Structure 1
Amino acid sequence: MKLERLLIKSKFQSLNSQKLSQVFKNSRKKSAWGIDINECFLRVAKITQVSQELLIDDLGIIEIPQVQSESNDSQSADVKKAIQAFLSKHNILKEDKVVMSISGQSVLPRFINIPPVEKKQLKGIVNYEAKQQIPFDLKDIVWDYQQLTEKVADTNSIEVGLFASKRATLDQLLANISPLETRLTAIQAVPLAIYNLISFDQQINGLTIIINSETESTDLIIVDGLYFWLRSIPTSKVDADLVKEIQRSMEYYKSLMREASNFQTILLTGNKFNEPNNVKFITDNFTYEVKIFKTLNNVKLSSNVNATDFNENILHFTPALGLALQGIGLGRIKINLLPPERIKTAEISKKKPYAIASLGCLALSLLIQYSGLYTRNTYLQNSETLYQKVLQNIKELEGKYKNAETHTQTNKSALDLISSVDPSRFIWLEGLDKLVSLIPNNVSLSNIQSSWIDEGAINSSKKVSAETVQPKKTVASTKPGPLKKLLLMGIKGESQEPSMRFIEEHIIKPVQSLTLFDQKVAAFKNVEIVPGSSRQVERKNGQGNHISFEIRWIVKSIDEIHDEENSVISLNGTSTPPNKS
């Protein structure tokens, strides 16, 4: 009977001390099957990761008849039948991962301490150590390793675990599951699969021993905070001999520890503990708290799984669930005893579609290149005619450009005049309506006019001369000087009230205070009666005398209005500016 030390410092704290969102790094859907085969059962479990949730999507137990024979042929035939029965009932998708179990009795563990080195140097050192530590020719075994402790500045070594199994054992397993061989991604030892499940799903408080008792063997896994230790015992009976071996293992573990260790909990799993008498026997022979693995904390059941059936058989599925967790990348121990050549074959098989697609793309690329060369050759053959046409088009475009340039220069003066016009030209949108509305009923308008004048045409007294009333003709110039234009407006009309005072009160003053749009100050300045325009008009029809008049003013620029509004704001909130007529 072998007793191996497996003292592993975990890279992670207990799952319950972390948020699940930190564990699930990829939110896309992933699925994996765990397939656990022993002498009596084929047990399968499928776990699907969707976003940050793990779901058990499928479960199955298929019994394998026990054969009392020195030959394994009958047993292998029954295993193959069980695999066929599994495939007939369960659908494995193309993208699903498949991880298979191998018993702890079939795996040889070795643990070595090596100097802390970089990862690129680790493989070479471990390969050398494997030749020294494993008592078999490396050609006859399949082995894998995992760095178990991190490189820390204060330590002078790191611990690496080696796990090996005979090729003959693995070849027999692969022959029995040949329909699944191409879908297989990993082979893992049962006790390591159980540890992956417990460390992921359960809250372990204090020093705990996990007892997994199956038909052909019993696995012991001791979990001690950041460490764990395991042993496989080749017995399937829960009796006094098993209790002695468990106690011996617990004492041996204590001897490995520098500090005193006290066990607190026993966790039972495996199909043997479906029998209440076996549970009672363990409880009666130990003083520690005994628990049965019967609840999942971080994995849920999907609607495809019957909750009652699962709860009744949960002790069967601990290895299969641990294998499935490793398949989707959530197992702490990632050992893979699948022969390397088969891993390469599987990788090549996965890459075949991409290789075919690459060849197709290459062929398409060559076809496109040939087509391009043919087209280019035809193009070159006609290049002379094409170039002549291009040159002719260039000459025509050059002539059109020169004509357009001449036309632009001709109209540049008018364009400059338009661009220099103050934005107040848009007062017609609102000014006419307000202007007409303020005219009294006994006053009639005969004319409303406007024109643009040069600012320099206004004399120092801000009186507009009669000569500037008429709009000047714009003379086109290729280089016009910068002129500021003012908009001059005026109205002509007659008042039935023959009094200038009436005109001043009811027409001039309203025009002086008229505001436009949302402005806060008057829009017009220099509002005045045109000299000589006022005169009495005698009506022959007996309607009495009327008075004719003409009033003109200048529209303020936007800048002037803004300046006046700012002045109003600065004068202690004054809302009505002084009249600037």
Structure 2
Amino acid sequence: MASVDYMLCIDVGSSSIKAAEFSYTPTGEMLMERFAFEEFSTPDSSLQNLVESNARVDMLEALNKILTTNKFNSKKVCLSLSGHDAYIRFVKVPAIVSDEKKIRQIIEFEAQSAIPYDMSEVVWDSQLLKSADDSGEIEAMFVIVKGDEIEEITSLIESLGKQVEFVEVSPTACYNAARLNGVGDTDCELILNIGDRCSSLLFVDSGRLFIRIIPIAGHAITLQISKEFGISYKEAEEMKRRHGFVALGGAYEEPDSEVAATVSKIVRNVMTRLHGEISRSINVYRSQQKGRKPEKLYLAGGCSVMGYTPRFFSEKLKMPVEYLNPFKNIALGPEVDKEKLADIAHMFSEPVGLALRNTTNCPVEISLMPHSLQRYIDFKAKIPYLYASAATLLLCLLVTYFSLSKQLVISTAKKDIAVEQLQKTEAKVKKLKSAEGDFGAVRSEYEEAANLLNERIRWPELINEVQAVLPNDVWLTKVELSRSGGNQPQQQKEEEGGLFGGMSNQSGPQVAQDYISVFMTGHGRVKNQSFAENFTKRLSESKYFVFNRATDTINKLQNGVLQKGEFNVATFEQTLKMKNVIKQ
């Protein structure tokens, strides 16, 4: 049984993805086995900068859905991208240049001067369209697209286990499909593909090709509806599909629905703008490209099926108009739903044009493979050379092994000497570490003794500070120091300890304790009410004691009067916490 080859052809449009799988027999017969169609959201141009990335994510999700939910057999994939994402330009090269490499250099120079991007950021290709004629020039076309946009799509396809064979743009794929049907064989004929974001206008003139991308299409109609009715873009799109048709104009009766009448007028206004661009393009083609007058128009694309579209362009352009049937010469497989295909056949000229490149030489064969994927393909071509290099490397490694084995004996002897020296060094290091430990112990004892000496001067400073915080005419009757840590020593009676009764000189075992606070009692002569205020102010300014005038008060303050009544007498008690403890 003869083997059958498969090719999956995918057209990634501005708002939908069309996929068709074709089979090829060894005899050259081509059959469409199955197809799929998936739409995704289109961003509102007024919010384009905000949601453009989301629209790209939606497109990738739709592509992933088509590839994973349909039973496509092909591992090979060919792609076409929307003309909205491409820059297409036609140039003329002097016929005196016969070297193909020089011609490509001239075209590359034209491409560099035509785009605002670095050539490393884009993917481009060119093709000669016509041999030299009496004008002494060769017509050429080059196509440029952003590299990152292609890489996102091809990376997704490659991640699903499929291999991308080539990438081109939808206008050139549509052109190849039209040439299969004999469009433009004898006369100059037009193909108008009205998509979502743009319309592609193709001049097919007996082997010649001229393309113009016009940014007027279904998206412009939806925006106008959204603006006219004050509704969201999604609601406007639904209204366009429900009520959209081209208003007849003139003395024709309007539809009963006001919504339908308004929508039809909006559609006619946009189509009128599109007709103006078509007329301008025809004038450019005839004057600058020396082309012939178009005799017929073929319609394609999703927005071309709105009611009265063929009639509108036929009246405006004064030429016959019909829809392009890409399946005129294509056989359909038994699994193809012909009724479903008939509803969307006008959008499948691009997949058919892609499929033709696998069975015959097409008039235009553009390849826009991304740099990363092209490098991978080039790498696969170099695999046999890599195997040969690996064998050579292995031989070199064997020679190196025998050479190194001879040096092993010498290296072993050197290692033994180094080990002996290392052991001696380690013994010395061990002695040094032991001496370092002894030194550390002695240093700790020294530092402890030095700290005790430093603490001696704290006592005179403390006594001076106690005197400094007392107001004038105040005498102390008792001062005690409070300690922390361990058991408190037995306190002496006041008459036994004197002024500093809390400081014991008794002998015996005691646990090391730190002094943390001072308790004092005393009397003072008070001439006015500022005694307490003066006392607390001095306490708050002390560098030894912790006292906050906002929250702390004198523990106990009792006013009295001397017998003669000359001065008031105040008796107070106060416990002061020291900012820094005093080590014993």
TM-score (norm 1): 0.51
Tell me which residue corresponds to 1:219. Answer: 200
Give distance in 2, aligned partners of 1:234 and 1:176.
28
Q: 1:200 aligns with which of 180, 184, 187?
A: 180
Distance 1:293 1:235, change over 3 A: same
Distance 1:168 1:181, change over 3 A: farther
CA contact (8 A) 1:116 1:158 kept: no
Tell me which residue corresponds to 2:69. Answer: 89
Q: CA offset at residue 104 of structure 1?
A: 4.2
Q: Give runs of aligned pairs for residues 557-568 of structure 1, distance below 5 A.
A: none
- Tell me if 1:147 matches 2:178: no
Tell me which residue corresponds to 2:98. Answer: 117
SS of 2:296's equivalent?
Answer: strand
Tell me which residue corresponds to 2:57. Answer: 77
Give distance in 2, aligned partners of 1:296 and 1:173.
27
Tell me which residue corresponds to 1:277. Answer: 308
CA contact (8 A) 1:110 1:133 kept: no
Give distance in 1, aligned partners of 2:306 and 2:158.
34
Q: 1:49 aligns with which of 24, 38, 53?
A: 24
Tell me which residue corresponds to 2:138. Answer: 158
- Tell me if 1:256 matches 2:284: no
Q: Give runs of aligned pairs for residues 476-491 of structure 1, distance below 5 A.
A: none
Give distance in 2, aligned partners of 1:282 and 1:157.
34
Cα-to-partner distance string for 1:354-384 (whole Å, 9 max, x where unaligned): 789x78x989xx9xxxxxxxxxxxxxxxxxx
Give distance in 2, aligned partners of 1:265 and 1:271.
20
Q: Give runs of aligned pairs for residues 395-410 of structure 1, distance below 5 A.
A: none
Distance 1:329 1:348, change over 3 A: farther
Letter aligned with residue 231 of structure 1: R
CA contact (8 A) 1:294 1:311 kept: no
Q: CA offset at residue 268 of structure 1?
A: 0.7
Cα-to-partner distance string for 1:106-163 (whole Å, 9 max, x where unaligned): 22424230333244654455445544555543222222122223468x7854333222
Distance 1:253 1:302, change over 3 A: same
Give distance in 2, aligned partners of 1:351 and 1:181.
21
Give distance in 2, aligned partners of 1:198 and 1:218.
16
Tell me which residue corresponds to 1:289. Answer: 320
Distance 1:196 1:362, change over 3 A: same
Give distance in 2, aligned partners of 1:295 and 1:327.
16
Q: CA offset at residue 91 of structure 1?
A: 4.1
Q: CA offset at residue 180 of structure 1?
A: 5.5
CA contact (8 A) 1:221 1:228 kept: yes
The CA RMSD measured in Å over matched residues stands at 3.4
CA contact (8 A) 1:30 1:48 kept: yes
Distance 1:124 1:28, change over 3 A: farther
Q: CA offset at residue 196 of structure 1?
A: 1.1
SS of 1:280's equivalent?
Answer: helix
Gaps of at least 5 residues in structure 2 are 222-266, 396-584
Q: CA offset at residue 312 of structure 1?
A: 2.1
Q: CA offset at residue 269 of structure 1?
A: 0.8
Cα-to-partner distance string for 1:331-366 (whole Å, 9 max, x where unaligned): 3211112223411303535776x789x78x989xx9
Q: CA offset at residue 175 of structure 1?
A: 5.7
Tell me which residue corresponds to 1:186. Answer: 166
Cα-to-partner distance string for 1:454-485 (whole Å, 9 max, x where unaligned): xxxxxxxxxxxxxxxxxxxxxxxxxxxxxxxx
Cα-to-partner distance string for 1:289-327 (whole Å, 9 max, x where unaligned): 111123633321111212222222111111222223235
CA contact (8 A) 1:202 1:296 kept: no
Cα-to-partner distance string for 1:199-235 (whole Å, 9 max, x where unaligned): 1233434221111001111110011112121101111
CA contact (8 A) 1:208 1:266 kept: yes
CA contact (8 A) 2:178 2:326 kept: no
- Tell me if 1:323 matches 2:354: yes
SS of 1:335's equivalent?
Answer: coil
- Tell me if 1:210 matches 2:183: no
Give distance in 2, aligned partners of 1:103 and 1:262.
24
- Tell me if 1:342 matches 2:373: yes
- Tell me if 1:35 matches 2:6: no
Distance 1:151 1:110, change over 3 A: closer
Distance 1:117 1:184, change over 3 A: same
Gaps of at least 5 residues in structure 1 are 1-26, 367-581
- Tell me if 1:64 matches 2:40: yes
SS of 1:71's equivalent?
Answer: helix
Give distance in 1, aligned partners of 2:195 and 2:357.
21
Give distance in 2, aligned partners of 1:185 and 1:74.
27
Q: CA offset at residue 61 of structure 1?
A: 0.2
Distance 1:129 1:74, change over 3 A: closer
Q: CA offset at residue 60 of structure 1?
A: 0.6
Cα-to-partner distance string for 1:251-300 (whole Å, 9 max, x where unaligned): 222223557x3332111111112223323322332321111123633321
Q: Give runs of aligned pairs for residues 125-144 of structure 1, distance below 5 A.
A: 126-127=107-108, 130-132=111-113, 134-144=115-125
CA contact (8 A) 1:207 1:264 kept: yes
Between 1:341-350 and 1:284-293, the stretch displaced more is 341-350
CA contact (8 A) 1:147 1:158 kept: yes
Tell me which residue corresponds to 1:544. Answer: none
SS of 1:62's equivalent?
Answer: strand
Give distance in 1, aligned partners of 2:385 and 2:82.
34
CA contact (8 A) 1:100 1:323 kept: yes
Letter aligned with residue 90 of structure 1: N
- Tell me if 1:241 matches 2:221: no
CA contact (8 A) 2:192 2:200 kept: yes
Give distance in 1, aligned partners of 2:73 and 2:353.
20
CA contact (8 A) 1:185 1:343 kept: no
Identical counterparts, % of pairs: 19
CA contact (8 A) 2:75 2:162 kept: no
Q: CA offset at residue 55 of structure 1?
A: 1.1
Tell me which residue corresponds to 1:462. Answer: none
Q: Give runs of aligned pairs for residues 298-313 of structure 1, distance below 5 A.
A: 298-313=329-344
Q: Give runs of aligned pairs for residues 465-504 of structure 1, distance below 5 A.
A: none
Distance 1:242 1:330, change over 3 A: same
Distance 1:37 1:295, change over 3 A: closer
Tell me which residue corresponds to 1:17. Answer: none
